[in-house]
């Protein structure tokens, strides 16, 4: 592990101990959701242990860990599928907290960030829409916000809005025309879910269970919000989206990498205890190949997460671009680790005797969530081609400059 400051290492160790001694014994059965009463009890215990909300500023009750050091803590939290929820660093709340901290007004922080950071409210992020609206392509945004006296009227249909069933508010993306000094574009709004005109629609049932609050459709029908509901500045919401999505992609990688480590530990325990054809399973080449590939996938994922997190602090634009590479690599590597762990464990691996099948259901959607891997690969390829074209125009010799390709 990369050298980290002493206080961060101490927090990592406290988090590791808390997850293993308090959270794991309270995990629901594989495939089941965490009950609200259990969540409240465990979050209170996390606060008492000094491990709650590691990413949140201390003034709002968090541990104040900088982005560059989130990974060791988030991986420890992710060792349990309910760990991030217990520590209040789970999507979509974690990404919303980060963005509120960056661009919300003091009044908005008091009203929305403070209770969200404390775990007393939940939130959702409203961008994805039914086809042909915004999905992997945010520019296809169709929800409309019209400026009226004293505020805005919003009409639109969102889908796959994770956490919406339990959310107190939504950070909503809507398209707007130019008005006053605000350009035409997209605007983010803070919309209370009990606002007239907000309606939860059809539920979308998915294979994952770790994100509480479901993934339903949400309708906004002549929904009025005051001018004070605008998050940041009107018309430049797409800029803010990139501020949110880059770190949010990476924290998904961190959390699920923690679960991949848990899956490998389960497989290693099985390989130590079981014999096959008269030899310990861990000593057979067929198991060694699977184990070694798991270690390789975990270590390469850890490395790209660490590099991207550091870049997000020093050069957010480059870090956001590299987070696409990290998202694709980690989502595919983590899936392979869990899948191999199931193979090592044989029949028990695909049964409820072990939690591995449930883990596979959790990590599989990550290749679609936060932009499909195919969309990210398209963007990665475009950046690589653009970088090479620029180099040729400048008369630079050929160089396999992988680092700069990722940073474009």
In whole angstroms, give the CA distance from residue 345 to residue 39: 30
Q: Both 360 and 379 in a single domain?
A: yes
Q: Residue 402: pLDDT band by 50, 70, 90 thresholds?
A: very low
Both 207 and 307 in a single domain?
no
pLDDT of residue 204: 96
Residue 133 lies in a domain: yes
- 383/350 same-domain check: yes
Task: Answer yes or no: are the C-beta atoms of 19 and 80 closer than 8 Å.
Answer: yes
Confidence at residue 2, expressed as pLDDT on a 0 to 100 scale: 55
Residues 99 and 154 occupy one common structural domain: no
Number of Cβ within 10 Å of residue 294's Cβ equals 24
Looking at residue 53, its pLDDT comes to: 98
Domain for residue 1, yes or no? no
Question: What is the CATH classification number for the domain harbouring 311?
Answer: 1.20.140.10
Q: Do 243 and 232 belong to one domain?
A: no
- What range does the domain containing 396 cover? 239-407
- 403 confidence band (pLDDT: 50, 70, 90): very low
Q: How confident is the model at residue 401 (pLDDT cuts 50, 70, 90)?
A: very low
Q: Are residues 221 and 247 in the same domain?
A: no
* pLDDT > 50? residue 391: yes
Q: How many domains does the chain have?
A: 3
Does 292 share its domain with 387? yes
Q: Which of 237, 259, 291 is the endpoint of a domain? A: 237
Residues 355 and 308 in one domain: yes
Residues 102 and 132 in one domain: no
Query: Are both 302 and 312 inside the same structural domain?
Result: yes
Query: Long-range contacts: 343-350, Cβ < 8 Å, 24+?
Result: 343/290, 344/267, 344/270, 344/271, 344/281, 344/287, 344/290, 344/291, 345/266, 345/267, 345/270, 348/270
How, if at all, do strands 169-176 and 123-126 pair? parallel
Q: List the CATH number of the domain containing 135.
A: 2.40.110.10
Consecutive H or E run containing 140: none
Last residue of a domain, one of 57, 91, 118: 118
According to the model, what pLDDT value does residue 117 have?
Answer: 98
**Domain end residue (candidates: 237, 261, 292):** 237
For the whole model, what pTM was predicted?
0.92
The answer to whether residue 316 scores a pLDDT higher than 50 is yes
Residues 15, 44 within the same domain:
yes
CATH number of the domain encompassing residue 44 = 1.10.540.10
| Same domain, yes or no: 41 and 152 | no
pLDDT > 90? residue 405: no
């Amino acid at each position: 592990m990369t050298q980290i400051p002493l206080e961060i290492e101490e927090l990592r160790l406290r988090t590791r101990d808390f997850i293993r001694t308090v959270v794991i014994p309270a995990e629901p059965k594989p495939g089941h959701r965490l009950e609200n009463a259990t969540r409240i009890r465990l979050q209170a215990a996390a606060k008492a242990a000094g491990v709650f909300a590691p990413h949140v500023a201390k003034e709002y009750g968090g541990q104040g860990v900088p982005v560059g050091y989130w990974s060791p803590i988030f991986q420890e939290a992710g060792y349990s599928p309910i760990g991030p929820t217990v520590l209040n660093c789970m999507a979509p709340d974690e990404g919303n907290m980060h963005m509120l901290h960056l661009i919300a007004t003091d009044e908005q922080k008091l009203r929305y960030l403070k209770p969200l950071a404390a775990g007393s409210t939940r939130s959702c992020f409203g961008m994805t829409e039914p086809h042909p609206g915004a999905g992997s392509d945010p520019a296809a945004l169709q929800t409309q916000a019209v400026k009226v006296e004293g505020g805005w009227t919003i009409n639109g249909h969102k889908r796959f809005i994770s956490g919406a069933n339990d959310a107190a508010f939504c950070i909503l993306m809507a398209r707007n025309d130019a008005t006053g000094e605000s350009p035409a574009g997209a605007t983010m709004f803070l919309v209370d879910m009990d606002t007239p005109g907000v309606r939860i629609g059809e539920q979308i049932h998915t294979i994952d269970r770790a994100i509480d609050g479901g993934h339903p459709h949400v309708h906004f029908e002549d929904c009025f919000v005051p001018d004070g509901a605008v998050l940041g500045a009107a018309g430049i919401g797409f800029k803010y989206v990139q501020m949110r999505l880059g770190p949010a992609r990476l924290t998904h990688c961190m959390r699920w990498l923690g679960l991949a480590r848990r899956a490998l530990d389960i497989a290693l325990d099985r390989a130590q205890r079981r014999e096959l054809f008269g030899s310990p399973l861990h000593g057979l080449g067929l198991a060694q190949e699977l184990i070694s590939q798991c270690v390789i996938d975990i270590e390469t994922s850890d490395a790209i997460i660490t590099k991207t997190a550091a870049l997000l602090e020093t050069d957010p634009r480059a870090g956001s671009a590299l987070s696409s590479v990290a998202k694709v690599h980690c989502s595919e590597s983590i899936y392979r680790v869990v899948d191999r762990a199931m193979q090592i464990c044989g029949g028990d691996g695909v049964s409820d005797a072990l939690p591995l099948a449930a883990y596979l259901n959790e990590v599989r959607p990550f290749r679609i969530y936060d932009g499909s891997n195919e969309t990210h690969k398209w963007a990665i390829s475009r950046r690589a081609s653009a970088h090479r074209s620029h180099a040729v125009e400048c008369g630079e010799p050929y160089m396999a400059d992988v680092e700069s390709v990722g940073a474009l």
